[in-house]
A and B are shown apart, each in its own frame.
Chain A
Amino acid sequence: MASGLKSLESIVAMAELEIRRISHDPIELITRAIQPIFWIAIFGSVMAKVRAFPSTGDYITFISPGVILQSSTFISLSYGIMLVFERESGVLKRLLSSPMPRSFIVIGRSLAGGLRASTQYIIVLLAAVAVGAKISSDPIKLILGYLILVIACIGFTALSILIASGLKTRERFMGIIGAITMPLFFASNALYPIEVMPRAIQLIAEVNPLTYTVNALRTLLVEGSYMIGYDFIAILIFDLLSIAVALKLLHRIVE
């Protein structure tokens, strides 16, 4: 029991590490938020004017959850590069020889990445409201939305860690991340409803964890409803799968 609690503490320490890091350099997160703000302000305004997707209602409101995800998935998917750096430096060596179980490196780091990515929630939401998005002001829904985002980004970070374990060098890693973020974003319901897509892309969107996360945020923040159970289960399955595979592949980054 006591040792279980102690173990938990080492996972939390990884999250604490990330939060301390952010507090020493918050500017990075603000610069990360510039691009999504432009997505809403420029892309959103133009598309709203041409009424490209009439079923979406107010378009800026519609894409706000999608743009939060665009920014935060990119941060969590890039997070694995930390492991590549730490592999080249001595941090990973030290962690591997510490009494902390190896699985905690993956779990703790996924949590850390999820937290870092979730900072976009606040910045992008504020920006969206400033350009006229109609977002729920119910604090419970806002907090639930935040938690959903953290949980989803834990999965994306685990995915990033498993990619890092397989590729090992920063160049290859960044190449692959660039290659998967684009389809992940566009083959989802982030910018337009699934119904407008060709059937093949619809299929991708339906297995895309981003779709379920955007859906959950949209339900909570735009529709103001709590009907997110189905999306939540999909996100949890994604988390468990990506963490399990990342754990399985971690040994590859060691050698």
Chain B
Amino acid sequence: MFGGSITKAIEVRGLTKVYSGGVKALRGLSIDVEEGSIHAVLGPNGAGKTTLIRILTTQLSPTSGSAKIFGLDVMKNAAEVRKLIGYVPQEVSLWTDLTGYENLMIYAKIYGIERDRRKSVIEEILELMELREASSRLVKTYSGGMFRRLEIACALMVRPKLMILDEPTIGLDPSARRIVWEKILEYKKEYNTTVFFATHYMDEAEKYANLVSMVVSGNVVETGTPEELKKKAGGDKVFIKIDGNASIIESALSNIDGVRILRVRGDEVEFNVSSALALLPQILSSIQAEGYKIKEIRLREATLDDAFIALTGKMIAEEEGNIRELVSERKMIRRGA
């Protein structure tokens, strides 16, 4: 492109992947991830998130389209790309019959960390992940959260420029999820790593990502900050009941910038508003100016869930069953069964 354009951490254009069985996992997907950002791909199972990640991490070749990591093509420059990324797959990626320390040591050797640095790198990451005490225990005795932290430690140890996490907290309880994210953010703060993660947890995308790309059926449907996406989907919802006919205040309300009337019936009116907290004073005073009293007011702040349904027409929890299976599988593998 033209001079002055900044290299993106991830730049994907028109990516398609058709598996040998004929399954179309990606259908011309494009996405940009800025360096230093935390970018989430949000979508139900089977949307193509994992396929996208497997192509970005040079495991699979795409059927068509291009994918670049810091300007390097994942196909033509696979060897260089692998040196820039730290990757945590969705599935278990540890040797459960070894200790935590041994897992880190083997991965350090596989990733080519120099002999004289290995010990200090491992000690440092164990400290950061709060796994030092558990490091001499066999991994199959770990809790789910410790397990995931060790998997992330294996990827962070190499000081990647780009972290690629596939469902980083799948199957963890809320407090373990929070700790995993605290650790990722702590590391990011220190090394300014770009973080790219796939998730089906709305709250996680909303809370931790700067940008969210909604993926459905192998395509990105929308990208934006969580706030933008919620606004695009209509924003917050307000329900007001007055002591008179609501149709009289309808025009006054719809004159307010950011209000979209959804339903007027009898003494009730329901509308979307870009930001309920910011506009509520103005809404209330315009109703009072018409001479009515408010009998009841209810307000629901928009969630990314609402936005996902509004923007993609799909529910994200559709395949919850599969996720449960995966969770129980993770537990099974962890036990070493």
Contact = CB atoms under 8 A, between A and B. Distances in A.
Interface of A: 6-7, 9-10, 12-14, 16-17, 20-21, 24-25, 88-91, 93-100, 254-255
Nearest to B92: A89
Given A24-B98, A90-B89, A99 B109 contact: no
30 contacts: A10-B112, A13-B110, A17-B95, A17-B102, A17-B106, A21-B98, A24-B97, A24-B98, A88-B91, A89-B92, A89-B333, A90-B88, A91-B94, A93-B87, A93-B89, A93-B93, A94-B93, A94-B154, A94-B155, A97-B57, A97-B87, A99-B79, A99-B111, A99-B112, A100-B110, A100-B111, A254-B60, A255-B19, A255-B20, A255-B60
B83 interface: yes
Nearest to A16: B106
Interface in B60-106: 60, 79, 82-83, 85, 87-95, 97-98, 102, 106
B30 interface: no
Q: Which of B60, B85, B93, B94 has the most CB of A within 10 A?
A: B93
Contacts of B57: 93, 96-97
A254 B59 contact: yes
Contact of A100 (B98, B112, B138): B112
Contact of B89 (A6, A10, A94, A99): A94
A20 B109 contact: no
B58 interface: yes
Contacts of B54: 93
B34 to A, nearest CB: 22
A16 B118 CA distance: 16
A20 B293 CA distance: 76
B95 A91 contact: yes
B97 A25 contact: yes
Given A91-B93, A93-B54, A93-B59, A98 B109 contact: no
A30 to B, nearest CB: 16
Interface residues of B, number: 35
B9 to A, nearest CB: 16
Given A13-B110, A17-B95, A21-B98, 12 more contacts: A9-B109, A13-B109, A16-B106, A20-B98, A20-B102, A21-B97, A24-B97, A91-B92, A93-B57, A97-B59, A97-B87, A98-B82
Contacts of B333: 89
Contact of A96 (B58, B102, B151): B58
Interface of B: 19-20, 54, 57-60, 79, 82-83, 85, 87-95, 97-98, 102, 106-107, 109-112, 115, 138, 151, 154-155, 333
Contacts of B92: 89-91
B73 to A, nearest CB: 15
Contacts of A255: 19-20, 60
A89 to B, nearest CB: 5
A10 B110 CA distance: 5
Contacts of A7: 112
Given A24-B138, A90-B89, A90-B91, A95 B97 contact: no
Contacts of B60: 254-255
A8 B271 CA distance: 66
A181 to B, nearest CB: 25
A95 B110 contact: yes
Contacts of A17: 95, 98, 102, 106
B93 A89 contact: yes
Given A94-B87, A97-B85, A254-B60, A6 B98 contact: no
Contacts of B19: 255
Contacts of A16: 106, 109
Contacts of B83: 99
Contacts of A25: 97
Contacts of A10: 109-110, 112
Interface centre among A9, A90, A95 (most CB of B within 10 A): A90
Contacts of B58: 96-97
A166 to B, nearest CB: 14
Nearest to B154: A94
B55 to A, nearest CB: 11
A24 B60 CA distance: 34
Contacts of A24: 97-98, 138
B195 to A, nearest CB: 16
Nearest to A2: B114
A2 to B, nearest CB: 9
A21 B95 contact: yes
